[in-house]
């Protein structure tokens, strides 16, 4: 199995090692006015990459619309080492290779008088596909419709406007996996209104979503989700080399069939759920999030906290929470450029031939334990190294320790994860 994986990976890498220029690096739509986040195709790197000429077939345009194909394969190896208490809590966790994601994207513009943007992506597995979902499915189906110079609406199957690590490009964060997954849903069917103030230093977004696709209920009777997120840049100096981002979000979710369930894995795609409330008989849940990102040249600290109130019918209002703090230092001096339209920092763009090296540490916790609901408390500690080899290729290694307090015992899991990704 390992030999087969190595052979397939080697063929994959060889196929894409054409030259040393790249021109795309994101898994979501990018506003062309945010030039600081666009790929610099003049750079040369030790690791070659796809050329503009070689990938010309991925682009087309005519008077009605433009198209561009994108690709996002992410490959992992996960090693999990547990003590006996951990195995008694969550069962024996396997160690293996994993195709974390394999996404094909089609994006571009529809050339109305004020052009619309669109993104369609189909994905194998993916970051948030449930265990009983098909392996292949549509991840994104979104249209961005401009209303004015400072506002637009987005419709389709889209990300909700809640939690920084969900709103952003997950593959380009310092850490590998999202921690706050018990408190968000990555995609939903709905509509979002965005407005930008003060030369894009203040943003506001609000959305309403109806989870009716694949449901026996009608559109009107399906459960409804409301989300909102407001962000600001109280500090913005040296053309964005030094900044402070702050944000607050809310998310209200009707229960589906009078059931609310919060659960989260151990920052790995292949583990079972470490924290899990089980099915709670409840009418709705309300979530409040707070986020802050400090960036001082090549050093940054990202912090988030989410508090959840679930209105159970048996125990009244139950409260749960989660948080993390991630510190990042880029040894080669680069930083993540901030996207003022999306209101988050994008990927590192290496400036030197040997790429950019980043070290990061992370501490976090998901607390789904109350007097009546025993979902567990998972404390996570991680240390990692990322190599941004080109403006497209990235490889990383992270070591993590999990202390899970559940069932009256504390189980310990040591994990090691290797990742390689190519975002075009």
Q: What is the pLDDT of residues 245-262, one digit of tens each?
A: 999 999 999 999 899 999
Mean pLDDT score across all residues of the chain = 89
- pTM across the whole model: 0.89
Q: What is the pLDDT of residue 41?
A: 67
Q: What is the pLDDT of residue 152?
A: 97
Rounded to 5 degrees, φ, ψ at 88 are -70, -30
Using the predicted structure, report yes or no on whether residue 22 has a pLDDT greater than 50: no
Rounded to 5 degrees, φ, ψ at 198 are 50, 50
Structure tokens at 104: 């094909």
pLDDT of 197-213, one tens digit each? 999 999 999 999 997 66
360: Cβ contacts below 8 Å, ≥ 6 apart: 174, 175, 326, 327, 328, 329, 382, 383, 384, 385, 386
What value does the mean pLDDT take over residues 1-24? 41
Rounded to 5 degrees, φ, ψ at 165 are -70, -15
Q: What is the pLDDT of residue 359?
A: 98
Q: What is the pLDDT of residue 39?
A: 73
Whole-number Å distance between alpha carbons of 23 and 114: 25
Q: What is the pLDDT of residue 56?
A: 81
- Give the pLDDT band (50/70/90) at residue 20: very low
Rounded to 5 degrees, φ, ψ at 329 are -135, 120
Whole-number Å distance between alpha carbons of 82 and 334: 37
Between strands 280-296 and 242-254, the pairing is: antiparallel
Cα distances (Å, whole numbers) of residue 240 to 36, 346, 375? 9, 12, 41
Whole-number Å distance between alpha carbons of 327 and 343: 19
pLDDT of 315-334, one tens digit each? 999 999 999 999 999 999 99
289, 248 Cβ separation under 8 angstroms: yes
Cα distances (Å, whole numbers) of residue 192 to 168, 173, 227, 321? 16, 23, 9, 26
pLDDT of 137-182, one tens digit each? 899 999 999 999 999 999 999 999 999 999 988 899 999 999 999 9
- Give the chain's end-to-end CA distance (angstroms, integer): 28
211, 256 Cβ separation under 8 angstroms: yes
DSSP string, 58-120: GEEE-SSBEEEEEEEEEEEEEEEEE-HHHHHHH-PPP-EEEEEEEEEEEEEEE-SSSPEEEEE
Rounded to 5 degrees, φ, ψ at 90 are -125, 5
pLDDT of 31-63, one tens digit each? 777 777 777 767 788 988 766 677 788 889 999
Least confident of 9-18, 73-82, 338-347: 9-18
pLDDT of 70-85, one tens digit each? 999 999 999 999 999 9
Using the predicted structure, report yes or no on whether residue 3 has a pLDDT greater than 60: no
- The enclosing H or E element of 4 equals helix 2-16
Whole-number Å distance between alpha carbons of 390 and 23: 11
- Give the pLDDT band (50/70/90) at residue 372: very high
């Amino acid at each position: 199995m390992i030999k087969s994986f190595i052979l397939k990976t080697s063929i994959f890498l060889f196929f894409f090692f054409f030259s040393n220029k790249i021109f795309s690096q994101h898994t979501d739509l990018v506003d062309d006015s945010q030039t600081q986040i666009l790929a610099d195709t003049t750079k040369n790197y030790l690791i070659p990459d796809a050329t503009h000429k070689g990938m010309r077939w991925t682009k087309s345009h005519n008077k009605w619309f433009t198209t561009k194909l994108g690709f996002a394969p992410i490959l992992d190896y996960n090693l999990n080492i547990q003590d006996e208490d951990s195995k008694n809590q969550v069962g024996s966790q396997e160690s293996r290779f994993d195709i974390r994601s394999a996404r094909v994207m089609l994006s571009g513009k529809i050339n109305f008088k004020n052009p619309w943007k669109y993104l369609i992506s189909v994905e194998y597995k993916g970051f948030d596909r449930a265990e009983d979902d098909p392996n292949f499915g549509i991840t994104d189906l979104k249209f961005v419709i401009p209303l004015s110079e400072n506002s637009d609406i987005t419709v389709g199957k889209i990300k909700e406007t809640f939690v920084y690590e969900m709103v952003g490009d997950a593959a380009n964060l310092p850490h590998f996996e999202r921690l706050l997954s018990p408190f968000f849903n990555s995609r939903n069917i709905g509509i979002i209104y965005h407005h930008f103030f003060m030369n894009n230093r203040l943003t506001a977004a609000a959305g309403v979503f109806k989870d009716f696709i694949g449901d026996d209920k009608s559109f009107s009777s399906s459960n409804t989700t409301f989300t909102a997120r407001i962000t600001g840049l109280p500090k913005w100096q040296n053309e964005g080399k030094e900044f402070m981002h702050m944000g607050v979000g809310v998310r209200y979710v009707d229960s589906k069939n009078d059931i609310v369930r919060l659960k989260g894995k151990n920052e790995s795609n292949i583990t079972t759920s470490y924290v899990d409330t089980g099915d709670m008989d409840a009418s709705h849940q309300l979530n409040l999030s707070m986020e802050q990102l400090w960036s001082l040249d090549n050093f940054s600290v990202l912090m988030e906290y989410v508090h959840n109130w679930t209105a159970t019918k048996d125990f009244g209002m139950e409260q749960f929470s989660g948080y993390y703090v991630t510190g990042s230092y880029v040894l080669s001096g680069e930083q993540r450029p901030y996207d003022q339209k999306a209101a988050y920092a994008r990927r590192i763009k290496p400036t030197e031939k040997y790429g950019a090296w980043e070290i990061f540490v992370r501490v976090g916790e998901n607390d789904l334990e109350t007097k009546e609901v025993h979902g567990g408390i998972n404390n996570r500690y991680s240390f990692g190294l990322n190599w941004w080899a080109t403006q497209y290729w990235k490889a990383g290694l992270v070591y993590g320790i999990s202390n899970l307090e559940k069932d009256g015992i504390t189980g310990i899991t040591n994990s090691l994860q290797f990742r390689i990704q190519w975002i075009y």
